Chain A
Amino acid sequence: MIHFFQVTKRYPGGQTALDRVSFEIARGQFVFLTGASGAGKTSLLRLIFREDVPNEGQILVNGRNVSSIPPSKIPYLRRTIGVVFQDFRLIPRKTVFENVTYLPRILGTDGKAQKKLAYTALRRVGLAHRGNAFPLELSGGEQQRVAIARALINEPEILIADEPTGNLDPDLSWEILRLFLEVNLRGTTVLLATHDRDMIQRVGRRVLTLDAGRLVNDQEIAGSDPPPLEAPPPTAETTAETAAETAEPETP
């Protein structure tokens, strides 16, 4: 699903963010990406959704060579990847419903189907009743859940999260992490960057550790206190819709 081959990323100032990083993440895996601040976690994530390009090496995402796709094809790649940030990146002047339905709107989904998709996504994060609220009327945890709903609305194949719990207290962080784990249970590949080692130890899963741009550890760990999870399987209808909408048709 995600392959890094000897990837190096250097910034114009000469700073090396990633140094010959190689790893492979299979479809459906849940992977933590950890390391101290400045270790290169964000740089690595940005390369996956083609926010940036590597100086050396190759990156394959879902079979596509991300570093060589033309700019006009980048949107189609991003439609298959959900991204969640530490700072939520919600638009304060738009309602929760409007924040969540950006992708369906881009795809030209009709209003009724948009509402249905939004309701489903918001229900998954427990906010189905807050569709008409504005982000600033919500708590930090709720805002992050809206951001997750936005990332999930089109059933992405990959979900990337960059310190999604960084701005939240421990209880809310745990709640958000559970959401990611449930999403993963439905088959979505999840790559979650965090420097919260306690959380990783508690949950377990595969952990990639970066240090000064180098991948210093890649191991599977058993969780000390993994949460009980429940998630329904994706419906055939939803999966078919997703496949049709994220293809590369005549979408402007």
Chain B
Amino acid sequence: MSLLKALQYFLREALVNLVRGWKVSLLAILTITVSLLVGGAFLLVSRNLLASVERWRGETRVVLYLQPAASPDVLRRLAAEAGRAPWVAAAEAVSAETARRRFQESFPSLSDLVEGLGDEPLPASIEVALRDPGRRPPELRAWLDTWRRRPEVSMVDDDLEWLRQIETVATLLRGVGIALAGGLLAAAIFTTASVIRLTAYLHHDEIAVLRLVGATEFYIRGPFYAEGFVQGLAGGAVASAALWAAYTLLRLRQPNSLVESLLAAQFLSSAQIAFLVLLGGAAGLTGAVMSLRREAL
């Protein structure tokens, strides 16, 4: 028998077994679906978070806040000094007065809050635009550390710091997702193995006949492997569909919201969907192989 014919036979027998034992097969498919749905959801959230981080990274800048006592001359001198660094595209001196005005323009309802105070309530600062905002080479980090140590400077605000923290959270989320999905997938593999073992048990009479008339082990086990693989693929496909449905629902319910822009700006890539489905197939196949290895057919 050619390999192609054998594969056709395996698939046909697997589908017949799936239909005949649809209740237990459904159980296996659902456990794979749940595990991949959880994994896929974490993947989707972390993908969107990381995409947001990447987007924000291009817009980051550095602000050097001066001590309240710093004079306009000091401000100008330090701004000129900062502007001379090779990685700086522009360094704008923002006086305390300008900072207060910007605050009042940005938050009109709070403008009274800073109006009545005698001295300028906000510090003067230098807004540094970097030539390559998404990168922080070691020399640049050392340069920022130098500014942090200077007596005229009270604080150095680098947007990239909190972006890095979000990035860490996204990576952590992905890790948690992988761990959680891995655990659930192990349970799914166990369930699939049990289902395949049950199917094999129900077919033990036929397996005995096959062996008697001269079927090879590959021919005997093939349909069960195919059954596990098909169950896994089905679980992966259902999980992807459910994930897409949840994603679409979120976008419809909360269009242009922070949640949508942060967590559901884009769906999984086709490669990631294919990965989810194939992961399901691999889990099902693993379950089948495990069950038939443990169980002498």
Interface set of A (CB-CB < 8 Å, partner B): 49, 72, 75-79, 83, 89, 91, 94, 99, 102-103, 105-108, 150, 246, 250-252
Contacts and interface: CB of A to CB of B under 8 A. Distances in A.
Contacts of A103: 213-214
A75 B211 CA distance: 7
A108 B219 CA distance: 11
B206 A105 contact: no
A64 to B, nearest CB: 14
B9 interface: yes
A252 B205 contact: no
Contacts of A108: 1-2, 5-6
Given A76-B214, A89-B212, A106 B219 contact: yes
B209 A91 contact: yes
Given A89-B209, A106-B210, A75 B215 contact: yes
Contacts of A246: 214
Contact of B212 (A83, A105, A107): A83
B280 to A, nearest CB: 25
Given A76-B214, A103-B213, 20 more contacts: A49-B212, A72-B216, A75-B214, A77-B214, A78-B213, A83-B212, A91-B205, A91-B206, A91-B209, A102-B210, A102-B213, A106-B214, A106-B215, A106-B216, A108-B1, A246-B214, A251-B1, A252-B3, A252-B216, A252-B222
**Interface of B, helix, strand, loop or mixed by DSSP:** helix
Contacts of A99: 209
Given A106-B213, A106-B214, A252 B219 contact: yes
A144 to B, nearest CB: 15
A108 B214 CA distance: 13
Nearest to A107: B1
A105 B217 CA distance: 15
9 contacts: A78-B211, A89-B208, A91-B206, A106-B210, A106-B215, A108-B5, A108-B6, A150-B213, A252-B216
Contact of B205 (A75, A79, A89): A89
A78 B210 CA distance: 10
A96 to B, nearest CB: 14
B218 interface: yes
Residue among A99, A107, A251 with the highest chain B CB neighbour number at 10 A: A251
Contacts of B215: 75, 102, 106
Contacts of A150: 213
Contacts of B217: 72
A251 B215 CA distance: 9
Contacts of A78: 211-214
Question: Which 9 pairs between the two chains have the least Cβ-Cβ distance?
Answer: A108-B1, A79-B214, A78-B214, A75-B214, A103-B213, A252-B218, A252-B6, A106-B215, A75-B216
